[in-house]
Amino acid sequence: MATEIKLTRKDFVSDQTVRWCPGCGDYAILATVQKTFPRLGIPKENFVVVSGIGCSSRFPYYMDTYGIHSIHGRAPTLATGIKLSNPELSVWVITGDGDALSIGGNHILHAGRRNVDLNILLFNNRIYGLTKGQLSPTSPVGTKTKSSPYGSIERPLNPVEVALASGATYVARTIDVLQKEMGEIMYQGALHKGLAFTEIMQNCVIFNNGAWFDYSDRSKRADNDLFLEAGKPMIFGKNKDKGLVHSDDGFKVVEIGDEYSIEDIAVHDPTSLDNAFLLSQLTYPLPLGIIYQVIKPTYCEGMWGQIEQVKAQKGVGDLNKLYSSADTWTVVEEGEPEIKAEVRGDVESSLDEAYVDEVLGREPLEADLAEQLSGLTLYDLDPKAPITIEPTARMDHALQLMREHGIGALLVVAPDRHLTGIITEVDIQERLAGADMSLHDVTVQEFMTPNPVALPLDASVLEAVHFMTGKRFRHLPVVDDTMRPVGVISSRDLVEYLVKHL
């Protein structure tokens, strides 16, 4: 009887300091992978993580598994050799849009056409981050970078489209902030026999911040993201009132109502390559989830089957006999000369990491603390009770409340207590600058920021950092399921929590 393997995320966390910029989407991906591995019931020693070059390719250092930080673009090839030599291994390739689709483009193609049983996670932030912000193969037309100062004139590659064209048998897409959905996609990909390719839209807070905000921002997801489920209608929208129907040009977005009913909406079929290609072209809505999945013979099955067939025909091979079966020669030297290898120059191993500390102006320990945010929710921060005010209240009363409570923000609520806005010190300073007015004569509604970003208690702290670093928010409302405020967190609260607990 097989012994049940019980592992936790901690079993896959290495002792290495994580060196990514605080707020980087890579933290969420790392945490999700570390949570997914224990679910697979695979012995820890059977995991191998292989990477190329780039920010994402630091990954093997942070996983307590076997791993190889290989050379630029060649991770799929090295991973193929590992899988062929020991098919029992669960082999994961961690790569970025530059590493995989530029110098490594041909290796991705061959891994796909061979249907090697690998799990490829492609982090797509549309930029070269490690080398400080150059154009990548996925950067949109018009993108201005250090290597495209007048704007890119190149049509970007679509990672999902590339994977489908190469022959991958499992193709999926997710976003770094969607940790639950991302974990399920990784889990299903790991169970798949064949090449499992997942594009992860990841935010680079330093060199391309906000690249995916239209799809990752909580206030925009429902209207812009299409979460695919096999056998179910492809509908989306806050009220689930929009969907896709087949047309002569592919899929068309329609509103469900008088003209179209739910029965008219196309059903997602992940086994259809035609539908998968059509979905890969969409940017509105953006398809997320498992786009394509079929079962086909894998390269390992074919290779090992061929080996066994040849063994049956010719017997077990003899390596020495193979070596001497062609022209050979021997080099002989008189005596026993001593051979020495001299290494000139000395390259510090820390140089690869130096630019991160320079950009952040922080000690490495603080970057390590940022990694721990990926496992926390807003509930862990114990948000302060919100101080609320109605939009019709006078501004002098609002200022008095802020002074009395020593706070920098008030949450604005409607009479039914639903959140309608936020008023902060910044709002007041911007509107008062150069103005001649009496705060007794103006209302909160004239000063507030309407419809602010708000997060539920179960949202990850990483998502809060995503907004605080990406959009420079100093305060974030915390709401319940009915959009009624239950708390508020500030950047100062976050720092104090880190200092006290981490």
Indicate which CATH number applies to the domain containing 127: 3.40.50.970
Contact yes or no for 192/130 (Cβ under 8 A)? no
pLDDT attached to residue 370: 56
pLDDT attached to residue 352: 38
pLDDT attached to residue 495: 73
pLDDT attached to residue 463: 78
Residue 289 lies in a domain: no
Residue 344 lies in a domain: no
Give Cα separations from 31 to 27, 63, 134, 361, 502 (angstroms): 6, 10, 27, 24, 17
In the numeric block, which tokens belong to residue 68?
A: 């190889």
pLDDT attached to residue 360: 37
Residues 202-220: what's their mean pLDDT? 94
Neighbouring C-beta atoms of residue 307, cutoff 10 Å: 12
Boundary (domain end) residue, out of 216, 245, 262: 216
Identify which has the larger pLDDT, 451 or 11.
11
Answer whether residue 3 shows pLDDT above 80. Answer: no
pLDDT attached to residue 348: 40
Identify which has the larger pLDDT, 132 or 364.
132
Distance CA 484, CA 501 (A): 29
Boundary (domain end) residue, out of 200, 216, 232: 216
Residues 28-51: what's their mean pLDDT? 97
pLDDT attached to residue 198: 98
Distance CA 6, CA 398 (A): 54
Name the range with the highest mean pLDDT among 332-346, 357-371, 398-412: 398-412
Tell me the percentage of the chain whose pLDDT exceeds 90: 61
Element containing residue 313 per DSSP (H, E): helix 299-314
**Domain of 156?**
9-216
Report residue 274's pLDDT band, with 50, 70 and 90 as the boundaries.
Answer: very high
Closest to 208 (Cα-Cα) out of 173, 176, 174: 176
Contact yes or no for 88/46 (Cβ under 8 A)? yes
Residue 252 lies in a domain: no
Identify which has the larger pLDDT, 465 or 307.
307
Specify the pTM. 0.67
Contact yes or no for 115/296 (Cβ under 8 A)? yes
Contact yes or no for 242/227 (Cβ under 8 A)? no
pLDDT attached to residue 372: 66
Return the minimum-mean-pLDDT range out of 39-43, 52-56, 310-314, 324-328: 324-328
Closest to 49 (Cα-Cα) out of 91, 89, 84: 91
**Token pair 């907004």: residue:** 467
Residues 68-97: what's their mean pLDDT? 96
Residue 369 lies in a domain: no
Contact yes or no for 22/465 (Cβ under 8 A)? yes
CATH number of the structural domain spanning residue 440: 3.10.580.10
Answer whether residue 362 shows pLDDT above 60. Answer: no
Chain mean pLDDT for the chain: 87
**Token pair 């949202």: residue:** 459
Q: What is the pLDDT of residues 451-481, one digit of tens each?
A: 888 888 888 887 787 777 766 778 889 998 8
pLDDT attached to residue 147: 93
Q: What is the pLDDT of residues 106-161, one digit of tens each?
A: 999 999 999 999 999 999 999 999 999 999 999 999 999 999 999 999 999 999 99
Answer whether residue 350 shows pLDDT above 70. Answer: no
Residue 155 lies in a domain: yes
pLDDT attached to residue 329: 58
pLDDT attached to residue 365: 39
Answer whether residue 72 shows pLDDT above 90. Answer: yes
Answer whether residue 343 shows pLDDT above 50. Answer: no
Residues 10-37: what's their mean pLDDT? 95
Residue 250 lies in a domain: no
Contact yes or no for 96/73 (Cβ under 8 A)? no
Specify the 3-state DSSP secondary structure of 171.
Answer: strand
Return the minimum-mean-pLDDT range out of 150-164, 289-303, 391-405, 409-423: 391-405
Q: How many structural domains are present in the chain?
A: 2
pLDDT attached to residue 339: 40
Identify which has the larger pLDDT, 50 or 318.
50
pLDDT attached to residue 190: 98
Identify which has the larger pLDDT, 328 or 100.
100
Residue 365, Ramachandran bin (φ over 0: left; ψ between -120 and 50: alpha; else beta): alpha
Residue 491 lies in a domain: yes
Answer whether residue 24 shows pLDDT above 80. Answer: yes
pLDDT attached to residue 273: 97
pLDDT attached to residue 179: 94
Residue 472 lies in a domain: yes
pLDDT attached to residue 332: 56
Give Cα separations from 278 to 23, 149, 241, 273, 286 (angstroms): 33, 33, 21, 9, 12
Boundary (domain end) residue, out of 161, 185, 216: 216
